[in-house]
Structure 1
Amino acid sequence: MDKFLIKLPKPKDGQPSSSSNQPFVSSQVAPEVQRHTNSFPLSNMDSMLDFKSLEADPKDRMPISSYSPNIRDAVRRYYIQKKPCQPVDHIFPKTKFVDKMRQFRPTWFKRRSQWLEYSIKADAAFCLCCYLFKNELESRGNAGDSFTRDGFRCWNKALERFKKHVARFLLTSGFPFRGHDESEGSKYKGAFLELLKWYGDRSFDVGRVILGNAPQNDMMICPTIQKDIVEACAKETTKAIIEDLDGDYFGILVDESKDVSHKEQMALILRYVNKSGMVIERFLGIVHVNDTSSQSLKKAIYSLLLDHSLCTSKIRGQGYDGASNMQGEINGLKSLILQDTSSAYSIHCFAHQLQLALVGLSKKNSDVDNFFYVLTNILNTIGASFKRRDSLRQHQEDKLEELLKFGEVHTGQGLNQERGLQRPGDTRWGSHFKTLDNFLILFSSIVNVLKDMKRDCPYHLDRFTAENLLSKIHEFEFVFMLHLMFKVLLLTNELNKVLQKKDQDIVNAMGLLDLSKKRLQMMREDEWDSMMDEVSLFCGKHEISIPKMNEDYSNGKSKRKRSNISYLHHFRVEVFYAVIDLALQELNNRFDVVTSDLLLGMASLSPVDSFANFHKDRIMKLAEYYPSEFGDKELRELNFQLDDFIVYAQKCDSKFLNLKGIKDLAKVMIETKLDQTWSLVYLLVKLTLIIHVATASVERAFSSMKYIKNDLRNRMDEDLLNGCLVC
């Protein structure tokens, strides 16, 4: 609003003030405003306008657009000088919101003194800036009517709405990255002004020409200059990153997500080992992509790398999330880059891989898919009502008292804990096993809740749903699948727990993976009879009919029997064998030989416990996966270097003791200059560090990006957002 006024110097003692009875005189009007209002002399305009007729209460004011274009600026100047309508001594009425009485607080005027107004007549808040300038802003964004025509009265959400309104006004007025009080007395001027002040305090040449010391109004804080500075800083930062990389090998970490305007953005991060032996991850840039297909992402990655003169043949590692466009074996981004650079390996999060194996199993087997569909419907039906959940707890307590009475369970600390029905989720590791475990224990209680619902629910649809679910849950096929899937998930549960730890023992994890595969194979070969005994016992306990296994099988829908297919053949061959075979196939596909060799080789290089996991054959196998770096000659030389290196590291140099990982090993080799003595060993260590081994903690970090990519930041221009992120 300051552009409508020129601040005149204070009159010296004895000199008359330049003010008059009129709100403004021509000497106070900014030249650019005089140019806009040259249809009439300003004095004539002021004489034509009766300022006393202008309403002070925001609710009663005429819209600015109702005035003649020739006098609108005069009206604006009047209200600017008059300042916002902010009655402090008024007794503000209270209004009930939910269960509390709330009212407008005059303390809200303090930090919003330039724009916030209050209407006594309407008991509502208004915005002076929107009233004065809304017509000019409507072409660039809607400022809304709640603070102009109607007024704002939701006092229970006042601070939140005030903040959003200021941000919206700044965005529509052409200041998309400002959202702070930048006045001289503010303690929170925003990152740019704080950084500028900090740098000015440390450099005399800079400090004497910026902010308060700037000549006239050249304070170096206008939006254009801020963007230019951010762009320059981003270029210098990127230049330093490329120089630090120095043409060496690197890995790429890629993530893509939508902003608030649903534009797809791809962020690219470089991972490399610098000359000091430290693993470095640096943000290279964020770019807009038309779609998230693997071909589009590959093109965007190669284009961004080429812009910074980085060669794609130097890529030695890839890191992505678990989306199919990233991890697909045929057309996934990982596979497309591997076709161009054969040593650009990607090792996805094992915990996520295990969960994806289960998801893949569900999608590829109709019996498993139908089972989880019915299971989810039961959980949703019971979990949708507090009354049904309370009923489930009550039935659980009654059942426990009955079991205690007959001595079937024992009491003790930590025993007989209350259980709930956790819904399974495709991205929640271990959730399916917990769900099935609780479902088996609460089976009778679940049946009782559905019976109560069928009998007592006032709505016909709810009663019909309960009856349908009761019929499903009492089918032998459902009970059989419940026990089968519980047993399959039980065999991989220990592996699942290990893979979710932050500090993973790769050797131990690979051992548990092999154990899970062997246990599944043993279950397939030897445990059919024992599982059928468990299912039959469960059915007898809960009064569920068991079909005669030698009779012809019917699918339960059309009641038509399939010729030559007995119930025994269906459940043993088409369900039991098929589900276990598919589970083994998914585990083998997700945890392939290349991944296993890479991880075991990396674990064998680990210096933890004085190289306790050192295994020369596994390390040599790891080196063979890098044919460009390790030909036949280099492999023979590496074989000799490993023999000397391990003896020296374990017995001759105390600096190699108590190292916590391969990162420490690389730094110690640089410090002792052993990277020159055993150059091939160090090269393999460096390549190992570049491979991004995603763990459960990394997956959680991907999920946490929502806290960074907030609405206000994503409204920025992409170049400015990129520059800020790089810096």
Structure 2
Amino acid sequence: MKRFFSLLSPTSVSTPIILDGGNQVTEEAESTPETETTIEMGPPPSTSSDPPAMSTPESNNLGNPADARDQFCKSDIEADPGLRKPIESLDPNIRDAARRIYINMGPCQPTDHKYKKTPQGNSSTKRSFHANWFKNHGDWLEYSVAKEAAFCFYCFLFKQPRAENYGIEAFTRVGFRNWKDGPSVLDTHIGKHDSAHNKARQQYEAFKNQRQCVAHVMDRGSKKSEQDYKARLIIILGIIRFLLLQGHAFRGHDESSSSNNRGNFLELMSWYKKKDPIARNLLDSAGGNHLMTSHEIQFQLCQACAEETTKSIIADIGDKKFSLLVDESRDASIKEQMIMFLRYVNSYGYTIERFIQIKHVGNTRAASLKAALDGMFLEHGLSMSKLRGQGYGGASNMRGQFCGLQRLIQDENPYAFYIHCFAHQLQLVVVAVAKCCSSVTDFFNHITLIVNTVNASCKRHDELAQQQHDNIVSQLESGEIFSGRGKNQATNLVRPGDTRWGTHHKTLCRFLTMWKSVLQVLENIHDDAENLTQRSTAGGLISQMESFEFVFMLHLMIKLLGKTNELSQCLQRKDQNIVLAVSLIGVTLQKLQDIRENGWDQLLEETNEFCVKHSILLPNMDDTIPARGRSRGRGGQMVTYYHRFIYELFNVVHDQVITELNNRFAEISTQLLRCIACLDPRNSFANFDEDKLVENLLRCTLMTSPHMRFCLSLESSLKHSLRM
């Protein structure tokens, strides 16, 4: 299957166009030297060397395809030669499949790796592998990062049963580490024309170029059958690419010939045959084992599309610097999965963010995640030295200062700075505020209980919507509110969630707008309750809503979360400027501090007006009540209502928000972003400030001698360039 993929442009994988299977495909099949070379990776479908991804009953080299699928999995393939399973240890039915995958991957040659130096023999001098050895032996020499040893690609794929040439075990199983005489030993391993290495090389070339080997020439099919097969494959690929891009499901509940809807894949293929008679002839004339419509082949073609798309992304990155985004989550099968994204600037100056891979990890410790990342980097040919940024969540295993994933990567590359998403940090601030004290926690618990109660059934949901509609109509008729585009829209209550950004503020705003409707629905639930539990719950919630403390907390949290919600919306904008984003945090802190110092009177006035409007009793602020958690009868501490609301609620909540904002948005992160903003090329580098740039670099980098020398050198270079 993969032998035909190179005929397609790598960037065309994501194009949502179904390729025609008519004359255009037939013209492409007229071989050119490039086409012949590409197709040589495998024989036509009727031969015994069909690629494993397109297993058919007549494929002789794979034996029973079902058995091969049961035994062959992606974990059998390792990019690092030191971690691979020997080919001879695999089942004979899947060895050729493994060889094809390894040939497509090519030898492992990490040129940017810092090779480990080890003492050689009795000498104290330490030596290591040299990357320039790849120049002389680039077609077969490999290096294992895990074992810090060299291996032979040819001998691994086609190890001779009775090999007598030099170092055959060292280059296939153990690993070669005699760096002192490295070049001469490598030449000795190659040996004469009949050495085990050269025999393995000949078998490698014959396997790769099967069109010219004798076994293939004897049983290969006609040129016409190969052209038809390629045309069918391109048609199927076009359908698969369209479904993948649109995110549609492939299969249907009933894919039998008598079904009216056989699923997106089969239905789209039927539509395509009706549209193009040439495609219909190609697909209908295929044998039962060449239809390429089975679920296994659909999955394999999807996997091939994913691999080609990934290759296109890696090629677009090239030698550019990039940033890493990682997240982890548990899937439906209760397995921990790690997702990797790369963020880079393409050749046109646009910021691109691309999904690269999802990988199962055994646990979420930082060391395990780092090992998984190293494997992904090695698999895709990425270098850790090109990494310039890290973006993870706020968990200790990710952002830990000493043993977190970001620290492990910075130990290897000190220029891969870690920045926690500002919008995510702000949501963590909101979550912390919602749990800052028992009164705030009780308030949000009551809000959640009220929302769940009035939305417990479709009947109550519709009743709440109808009550709100009637109230809006009544207010419009009385002139309390006015109509206009986007105003007075139908809405409903949603539960505040820790992971759903902005839901705390949205829920409270809707709750305030639907106050009368919520009370009416709770009264109806109390009157129509079928049991005492529902009646007592509804009655208790009504009493709670009509208390002064509940109304005060509602207005306080709306005002407070309104400021953070404005900041959250600004931070989530894709076109947000870094300097503006950092300044917005400072502005929000100033506003919150101003509200804490001067906003009490206004908040109390708004609360009192609301209570008077809805006939809620107002307490005398000079009266005394027991402090929260204390008993009046046992002589507990007594405080005034004024003390309760301003010192135990108003000040505590504001202090918690300001503290969390200062802790979450550390100075080093904001200074680093200001440093990056100095290099903004817009408006002829209008934000460029060499003094601020050097000052921030000195503040953000570790004060070791290399970093200090780098900063001083940068300062000298900047001043010299400005004088010129």
TM-score range, shorter chain: 0.5 to 0.7
Q: Aligned to 2:449, what secondary structure does the other structure show?
A: helix
Is it true that 1:640 corresponds to 2:711 in the alignment? no
Secondary structure (helix, strand or coil) at the match of 2:636 reads strand
| Separation of aligned partners in 1, 2:432 and 2:654 | 13
- Write out per-residue CA displacement over residues 373-407 of structure 1, whole angstroms, 9 at most, x where no aligned residue: 11011112112234334443444455456656665
SS in 1 for 2:552: helix
Measured after TM superposition, the shift of residue 454 of structure 1 is: 0.9
Kindly tell me: are residues 460 and 229 of structure 1, through their superposed partners in 2, closer, same or farther at Cα, counting changes over 3 Å? closer
CA distance in 2, matches of 1:551, 1:281: 59
How do 1:389-404 residues align onto structure 2 when only pairs under 5 Å count? 389-397=461-469, 399-400=471-472, 403=475
Cα distance change, pair 267–509 in 1 and its aligned pair in 2 (3 A) = closer
Query: Is 1:536 aligned with 2:615?
Result: no
Partner of 2:326: 254
User: Are 2:462 and 1:383 aligned?
Assistant: no
Q: Counterparts of 1:324 and 1:237 in 2: how far apart (Å)?
A: 33
Change (3 A) 1:586 1:336: farther
CA pair 237-516 structure 1, distance change in 2 beyond 3 A? closer
Alignment of 1:26-41 (within 5 A): none
Query: Which residue number in structure 1 is paired with residue 390 of structure 2?
Result: 318
Give the unaligned 5+ runs of structure 1.
1-29, 33-158, 167-178, 189-193, 198-211, 646-727
Query: Is residue 570 from structure 1 mapped to residue 614 from structure 2 by the alignment?
Result: no
- Of residues 589, 595, 598 in structure 2, which corresponds to 1:517? 589
2:670 corresponding residue in structure 1: 596
Which residue of structure 2 lines up, in the alignment, with residue 669 of structure 1? none
| Kept in 2: contact 1:517–1:584 (CA 8 A) | yes
Cα distance, 1:282 vs. partner?
7.2
Structure-2 residue corresponding to 1:362: 434
Counterparts of 1:236 and 1:421, CA distance in 2: 45
Change (3 A) 1:329 1:562: farther
Determine which of 400, 420, 441 is the counterpart of 2:491. Answer: 420
- The range that moved more, 241-250 or 253-262, is 241-250
Q: C-alpha distance in 2, partners of 1:451/1:225?
A: 60
- Please give the alpha-carbon distance, in whole angstroms, between the structure 2 residues aligned to 1:268 and 1:515: 34
Structure 2 match to 1:48: none
User: Paired residue for 1:86?
Assistant: none
Question: Per-residue displacement from partner, 1:490-534 (whole Å, max 9, x unpaired)?
Answer: 223332232232211333332322111001111111222222222
CA separation of 1:619 and 1:397: change in aligned 2, threshold 3 A: same
Q: Assess if the C-alpha contact under 8 Å between 1:254 and 1:267 holds in 2.
A: yes
In structure 2, distance between residues paired with 1:213 and 1:243: 36
Mapping of residues 500-515 of structure 1, within 5 Å: 500-515=572-587
Structure 2 CA distance for aligned equivalents of residues 435 and 221 of structure 1: 49
Structure 1 pair 305/380, CA: closer, same or farther in 2 (3 Å)? same
The 1-side partners of 2:320 and 2:481 are apart by 65
Q: Which has the higher contact order (CA 8 A, sep 6+)?
A: 1
Inter-CA distance 165–265: structure 2 relative to 1 (3 Å threshold): farther
Give the alignment's TM-score, normalised by structure 2: 0.52
What's the counterpart of residue 496 of structure 1? 568
Supply the distance in 1 between the matched residues of 2:295 and 2:527 (Cα, whole angstroms).
68
Conserved 8 A contact 2:608-2:618:
no
Verify: 1:301 aligned to 2:373, yes or no: yes
User: C-alpha offsets along residues 254-279 of structure 1, whole Å, 9 cap, x if unaligned?
Assistant: 23344554333334455567899887
1:660-688 CA distance string (max 9 Å, x none): xxxxxxxxxxxxxxxxxxxxxxxxxxxxx
Aligned residues: 460
Instruction: Flag the 1:325–1:474 CA change in 2: closer, same or farther, 3 A.
Output: farther
Residues in 2 aligned to 1:339 and 1:469: alpha-carbon distance in whole angstroms: 55
- CA drift of 1:609 comes to 3.8
Q: Which runs of 5+ in 2 are unaligned?
A: 1-57, 61-250, 259-263, 274-278
Q: SS of the residue aligned with 1:599? A: helix
- The answer to whether the 8 Å contact 2:627/2:638 transfers is no
> Structure 1: which amino acid aligns with 2:661?
L
Q: Is the 8 A contact 2:343 2:351 kept in 1?
A: yes
- In structure 2, the CA distance between the partners of 1:213 and 1:181, relative to structure 1 (3 Å rule), is closer
Whether the aligned pair in 1 keeps the contact of 2:547 and 2:616 (CA below 8 Å) is no
> Normalised by the size of structure 1, how large is the TM-score?
0.52
Query: Would you say the 8 A contact 1:351–1:499 is kept in 2?
Result: yes
Q: Measured at CA, do residues 283 and 569 of structure 1 come closer, stay the same or move farther in structure 2, by a change above 3 Å?
A: closer
- 2:570 aligned with 1:478, yes or no? no
Please give the alpha-carbon distance, in whole angstroms, between the structure 2 residues aligned to 1:395 and 1:369: 29
| Residue-by-residue CA offset, 1:191-223 (whole Å, 9 max, x unaligned) | xxx9xx9xxxxxxxxxxxxxx999xx9999999
Q: After TM superposition, give the deviation of residue 640 of structure 1 in Å.
A: 2.0
* Partner residue, 1:352: 424
**Which residue number in structure 2 is paired with residue 487 of structure 1?**
559
Q: Distance in 1 between matches of 2:252 and 2:292?
A: 31
CA distance in 2, matches of 1:165, 1:328: 57
Alpha-carbon separation, structure 1, partners of 2:454 and 2:583: 40
From 479, 482, 493, give the equivalent of 1:411: 482
Q: Are the equivalent residues in 2 in contact too, given 1:422–1:431 (CA < 8 A)?
A: no
Distance 1:223 1:415 in 2: 48
Q: Give the alignment of 1:679-698 within 5 angstroms.
A: none
Question: Following TM superposition, by how much is the alpha carbon of 1:550 offset from its aligned partner in structure 2, in angstroms?
Answer: 4.2
| Worse-superposed segment, 585-594 or 342-351 | 342-351
> Aligned in 2, Cα 1:450/1:325: closer, same or farther, shift over 3 Å?
farther
Match of 2:497, SS state, is coil
CA contact (8 A) 1:539 1:545 kept: yes
Alignment of 1:613-624 (within 5 A): 613-624=687-698
- Distance in 2 (CA, whole Å) between partners of 1:472 and 1:462 is 15
CA drift at 1:327: 4.3
- Alignment identity in percent? 40
**8 Å CA contact retained: 1:254, 1:266:** yes
Rate the CA distance shift 1:261–1:163 in 2: closer, same or farther, 3 A. farther
Distance in 2 (CA, whole Å) between partners of 1:278 and 1:345 is 21
Tell me if the contact between 1:254 and 1:269 (Cα under 8 Å) persists in the aligned partners: yes
Q: Secondary structure at the match of 1:160?
A: coil
Compare 577-586 and 418-427 and name the one that shifted more. Answer: 418-427
**2:253 equivalent in structure 1:** 161
Aligned partner of residue 572 in structure 1, secondary structure? helix
Aligned to 2:655: 581
Distance 1:250 1:399, change over 3 A: closer
Q: 1:254 to 1:219 in 2, by over 3 A?
A: same
1:466 Cα deviation from its structure 2 partner:
0.6
The amino acid across from 1:501 in the alignment is R
Task: Tell me the C-alpha RMSD between the 2 structures.
Answer: 5.0
Q: Partner of 1:552: helix, strand, or coil?
A: strand
